[in-house]
Amino acid sequence: MHQIYDLNADEREAIEELIASIQKTVRDENELHRIVRRACEELPLSIRRLLADYRAEVLGPAIQISGFPVDDAVIGSTPLTTRPDPNRPIMREDIYLALIASRLGTPFSFASQQGGHLTQNIVPMKMAEFSQLGSGSKEELVWHTEDAFSEYRPDFILLFGMRNPQKAATTVACLPPETEKEDMEALFSKNFVFIPDPDHASHLAHAATEAGRIAHAKMQAMLSDPSAESVLFGNLKEPYIRIDPQFMKPIDSQDKSVAAYQRLVERIERSQRDVVIDQGDLLIVDNHRAVHGRRSFQARYDGSDRWLKKINVTQDFKRLSELRFHERDFAI
Ligand SMILES: O=C(O)CCC(=O)C(=O)O
Ligand SMILES: [Fe+2]
C-alpha cells in the first residue's frame, strides 16, 4: 500500500546543492519558512511531479522517498529530550523536510509542542517510556490520526529517519476496504469527542510567555467543552478518517456508530503494516486517508537511539491565521 521512490544520483546532487545554498544564508526558522516557499520550486522535476500526484490522491495514502544521504557523524548524537532549545541549529535535514513539505502545502507547528519548532524531534525519553507519546518506547504507540483533537490538524505529516538502529517500525493503515456500507454510514454520525493528548495539554500549564499562556487556555477550553465529531467525513464513497482510540470517546454509547467504530478499530488493528523508517528515509502520510503508529522498542538513552524528525503540513494556511500569535510565524 505504500509506494517507495528511490532518489537517484542526479536528484540527490540537485537537492544537496539547493539545501547548501539555503543553509549558507538562513538565520532562523521564520526565515527558513519563507525561503522554502520559493526554493521548493527548484526541487527536481521528478520529485515535484511525484508530490503533485500524491497531493492529488493519484497515489496511495502513504509514500516513501528514500536515499537522502545522512552523515551519522555530522548529525551528532540523538537528543535525550524533546524540550525546545533556543540554540538549536538548522540542520540540512530540517531544510530537506521543509522543502518537501512546501510542495505539499505550508509547513506549520503547534506552539504547544516542543516550543513550536518547525521540525520536531521524535526521540525516546526515559520519563515517557510507557506513555502514548512520540517519546515513548516500551509501549506500542497505538495508531492514530495525528492531532485528531484539532480541527487544524495537519493534512500531511512527514517523518524523516535521522537514524534507526533499533529498526523500530512505524505502522500505517488506511480505512479497510472491506468496511461495510452500513458501518460507513453510521461512522458519519457526529457522536464522538476528541481530547488533546498530554503532549499538547499539560506542559504549558506554567508557560512564561503570552503565546504559551494563550495556547494553554485554548487547550483547556477544548478539554472542558469538546465539540461533537464523526469518525468519517467528506465523500461517502471515499471518506476521510479521523480516529484516535486512546483519546476519544462516544457521546451516546447506544448509537449504532459505536458498534461500527469498534468493528473498524479491530479491522484497522489487523490491517496495519510495518514501515521501518531507516536513516535517510522520508515517510509521508496523508493524515485524512491513513492512520499511523509505532511498534514498541528498547531504548538506550545513550545518544545512539532512534531519531526521527517530523514536520506538519496544512493545505490551507489561511484558515490558521486566527491562531497565529506566536513569535514563530508558522506556529499556531
Ligand atoms: O515514531 C514514530 O514512528 C511515529 C511517532 C508518532 O506517531 C507521533 O509522534 O505522533
Ligand atoms: Fe503520530
Higher-confidence residue of 87 and 266: namely 266
User: Looking at ligand 1, which atom is closest to the CA of residue 308?
Assistant: 1
Residues 179-219 have pLDDT tens digits of 999 999 999 999 999 988 766 656 566 666 676 677 677 77
Instruction: Report the pLDDT value the prediction gives residue 3, as an integer from 0 to 100.
Output: 94
Please name the residue that has the C-alpha cell 512527514.
158
Q: How far is the CA of 142 from the centre of ligand 2 (A)?
A: 9
What the chain holds in terms of domains, given with CATH numbers, is 2-177+273-323 (3.60.130.10)
Q: Which of 123, 167, 292 best tests ligand 1's pocket when mutated (most atoms within 8 Å of CB)?
A: 292
Ligand 1 centroid to residue 182 C-alpha, Å = 32
**What does DSSP say about strands 290-294 and 2-6: parallel, antiparallel, or unpaired?**
unpaired
* Dist CA 20 CA 13 (whole Å): 10
| pLDDT value of position 191 | 98
Q: Is 196 exposed, middle or buried (0-12, 13-18, 19+ CB in 10 A)?
A: buried
Q: What is the dihedral of CA 15, 16, 18, 23, to 10 degrees?
A: 140
Q: 13-69: per-residue pLDDT in tens?
A: 999 999 999 999 999 999 999 999 999 999 999 999 999 999 999 999 999 999 999
Ligand 2 centre distance from Cα of residue 198 (Å): 13
| Whether residue 55 has its Cβ less than 6 Å from ligand 1 | no
Alpha carbon dihedral 18, 20, 25, 31, in 10-degree steps, equals 60
What are the pLDDT digits (tens) for 131-177?
Answer: 989 999 999 999 999 999 988 999 999 999 999 999 999 999 999 99
Name the residue with higher pLDDT: 242 or 150.
242
Distance 167 CA to ligand 1 centre (A): 14
Of the candidates 133, 138, 29, the residue with the CA atom closest to the CA atom of residue 84: 29
Confidence of residue 278 (pLDDT cuts 50, 70, 90): very high
Nearest protein Cα to ligand 1, atom 6: 134
